[in-house]
Amino acid sequence: MIVCVCHNVSDRKIRQAVDEGASSMLDLRNQLSVGTCCGKCHSCAKGILRERLDEN
């Protein structure tokens, strides 16, 4: 599923980034540019980030 349409970032990519050490929205912004355009994906991306951090 594409989470960030502006930058074509999928939920899978977000989980992968978390597995590789990303632990905040700032990390995701820096690594994947998630949320840096229209911002509509922010809450969805944050949810996936939190879920993955809990799992790990």
Residues that bind ligand FES (CB under 6 A): 4-7, 34-41
Q: Which is nearer to ligand FES, 37 or 53 (CB)?
A: 37
Calpha distance 56→43 (Å, rounded): 20
Q: Which is nearer to ligand FES, 7 or 15 (CB)?
A: 7
Q: How far is the CB of 35 from ligand FES (least distance, A)?
A: 5
Contact 30, 55 (CB under 8 A): no
Phi/psi for 6 (5° steps) reads -60, -35
Q: Which is nearer to ligand FES, 10 or 51 (CB)?
A: 10
